[in-house]
Amino acid sequence: MTQQDSHAGTALVVVAHHRTDSLTAHTARRAAARLEAAGYRVALLDLHAEGFDPRMNVADQPDWGNREKRYSEETHAHMRRILDADAIVAVFPVYWQSVPALLKGWIDRVWNYGFAYGRSRPRLAGKRILWLGLAGAPSDDPVVEGMQRVLETGLSEGIAFYCGFSHSTVGLLTDAEERPQRVDPEGNLLIGEAVAGAERAAQYAEFDRRAEEFVEKFLAEEPAAL
């Protein structure tokens, strides 16, 4: 897709982090810029900045006898933002091998019965999603393989494909911590040395490169222009 191509559609970039100076927010900004350069109209959803409340509530609780249930106005507004998007890129820190509560709550409340699932053709059918998860674990930590698997099962199988998405990829970005950390067999948290200067710049450049690679791949796998 070229910069001049204005038919790439709309991408909703969802950021789930409480700090705007986080590596997560930085990664989301870079992903948004790349999507824009590829011709997408980018809509940003910063869940924390918008004060999204991830707690399930009575208004948004599914009513299994009524798939036309009118949920809260806030939830319907979020549903419209999803409907307006052809692609979603969710950027988040991996917490306990999963998405943070902020992002999970958005899915719980907004990807609701009668909208995201529970119809022969869910309203999200055909959409595409890239999950960009930043993990503190170093790439050579044996925990990473299982983390990738559990994220793919939960996010792609359990959520996106269940809701009819045509494409879902988990881009796991390891080494998101400045200082490498791992837990040894005795349960001690081992925190490595922080790198500095040129080495540190190279570490972040490599991180950005890997993130960009996931976005590029996601773009390359897109269906023919709309």
Residue with the CB atom nearest ligand FMN in the bound state: 136
Total residues in contact with ligand FMN, by rule CB under 6 A: 15
Give the C-alpha distances (Å, rounded to integers) separating 38 from 4, 19, 121, 168: 8, 27, 29, 19
Which residue, 17 or 127, is less far from ligand FMN as judged by CB? 17
Which residue, 24 or 169, is less far from ligand FMN as judged by CB? 24
Region for residue 118 given its phi and psi (left: phi exceeds 0; alpha: psi -120 to 50; beta: otherwise): left
| Closest separation in Å from C-beta 200 to ligand FMN | 14
Cβ-contact 40, 10 below 8 angstroms: yes
- Residues between 174 and 193 that touch ligand FMN (CB under 6 A): 176-177
Which one of 10, 61, 97, 148 is in contact with ligand FMN (CB under 6 A)? 97
Beta-carbon contacts of residue 10 (< 8 Å; ≥ 6 apart): 40, 41, 42, 43, 84, 85, 86, 87
Q: Tell me: does residue 103 bind ligand FMN (CB under 6 A).
A: no
What is the rounded distance in angstroms from the CA atom of residue 196 to the CA atom of residue 43?
Answer: 35
| Closest separation in Å from C-beta 98 to ligand FMN | 7
What is the rounded distance in angstroms from the CA atom of residue 60 to the CA atom of residue 74?
Answer: 10
- Residues between 32 and 91 that touch ligand FMN (CB under 6 A): none
Which one of 12, 24, 38, 156 is in contact with ligand FMN (CB under 6 A)? 24
Which one of 22, 61, 148, 203 is in contact with ligand FMN (CB under 6 A)? 22
Which residue, 61 or 97, is less far from ligand FMN as judged by CB? 97
What is the rounded distance in angstroms from the CA atom of residue 226 to the CA atom of residue 120?
Answer: 23
- Residues between 2 and 21 that touch ligand FMN (CB under 6 A): 17
Q: Quick one: which H or E segment has residue 176? A: none
| Closest separation in Å from C-beta 15 to ligand FMN | 10
| Closest separation in Å from C-beta 151 to ligand FMN | 10
β-bridge pairing 10-15 and 41-46:
parallel
Beta-carbon contacts of residue 63 (< 8 Å; ≥ 6 apart): 69, 113
Q: Tell me: does residue 203 bind ligand FMN (CB under 6 A).
A: no
- Both tokens of residue 182? 């791992």
Binding site for ligand FMN (CB under 6 A): 17, 22-24, 93-97, 134-137, 176-177
